[in-house]
Every structure is written in C-alpha cells, then in structure tokens.
Structure 1
Amino acid sequence: MSGTKPNSMSRAKVWTTEVENLFRFQQAGYRDELEYLQIKHGALIDKWPETGFVRKLQRRDNTFYYYSKKRECQDCEIHKVKVYAY
C-alpha cells in the first residue's frame, strides 16, 4: 500500500457521496482517502454516521478542517473534483 500511485484521473460529472468525500479530502490537500491514510499513517477518519461524509481531516500543516453533515460540494464545484483510479 505504501507509495501507491493512481493509474488514471478523471473529473467528476455528477454529485455522489464518493465525490463529496473526495471534495473534502482534496480541500484538505490530499488526493483521496488512500493518500490521507498513507501520509497520516493510518489515522482514523472521523465520519458522520448519518451520511457517511467525512467529519474532520487533519491538513498537512497539522491544523484541522471540520465539515458539516450536509453537502458542501456545490454543483458549480463538481467538475473540480478529481477521481483517481488505481
């Protein structure tokens, strides 16, 4: 798992729960959940139980991003989300 690189990247076209969580990881400076776990060495990812959305992420500078249980990735931002394939 260490050093795993994606084979390809595409842009999100429609909003899904996966796109919402990718948006949150990318806002915090990570490619996706896999890269977050590699860099933070298996840190627990706090998620909202009702929605499954990421609740809190630690940035690379060790400050934290806190997220709402509601959708944060608006329609105008969906095309900015990168979806990686491994």
Structure 2
Amino acid sequence: MAAAVTASMQPKSMTRAKKWDEVVENAYRFQLAGYRDEEEYRSVKKVDSAEKWDNGFVKKLQRKDGCFYYYNKARECSDKDVPKTKLYNY
C-alpha cells in the first residue's frame, strides 16, 4: 500500500507526543487503525476527511483490510500511550 502514497505526501520529520491534546488524540486513533495520520488515510481511502464527533475527535475509521474502528466521544489515548504516539510534520 505504500506505493499509493506519493512522494509529496511524505512527512519531513516525526516527533513523539509529550502531553495529551486533541491533535495527539486524533493521531493516536489513526495510528491504532494502521495509518500514519489523516493525510495517509485520505490518500488511501480517497475521502475528504474522516468522520468526526462534534468535539473534533475521530468517530470512525476504516482499516486497510476493510474492517471498521469505532471510537467513543471521550478521550481514548491513555497517559501511557501518549509518548508512543507519533506526530508527523510536512
């Protein structure tokens, strides 16, 4: 599937999250579903954006194998998972 991502979509750098916020929460949800971030999700699934709750958190993602991940409206990224979450810069 890596061939579907063009060279212009590749990140320039990656950092690990230090503290929780909305950006880290959404990055965690994309990575849990097997994607690098929303950019990769949009390029693979050919959608404008992921379905989100009214608070901005990702609501539902389709994995690469076709199954779905459904997320709650509340925080799902625990404090122990924050440093494992990767944040990409373009």
Report the TM range for the smaller structure's normalisation. over 0.9
Number of residues paired by the alignment?
A: 84
Shift of 1:43: 5.3
Separation of aligned partners in 2, 1:65 and 1:43? 18
Post-superposition Cα deviations, 1:61-80, rounded to whole Å, max 9, x if no partner, equal 00000000000000010000
Match of 2:40 in 1: 35
Tell me which stretches of 4 or more aligned residues in structure 1 moved more than 6 Å.
none
Give identity over the alignment, percent.
54
Q: CA RMSD in A?
A: 1.1
Unaligned runs of 5+ in 2: none
Asked if 1:68 is matched to 2:72, the reply is: yes
CA contact (8 A) 2:38 2:49 kept: no
Distance 1:32 1:58, change over 3 A: same
Secondary structure of the equivalent of 1:75? coil
TM-superposition CA deviations, 1:10-43 (whole Å, max 9, x none) = 0000001010000000000000000000000125
Give, in whole Å, the separation in 2 of the partners of 1:44 and 1:16: 20
Q: TM-score, normalised by structure 1?
A: 0.93
Q: Which runs of 5 or more residues in structure 1 are unaligned?
A: none
1:83 pairs with one of 66, 84, 87: 87
Question: Counterpart amino acid of 2:15?
Answer: S
**Residue identity opposite 1:28 in structure 2:** A
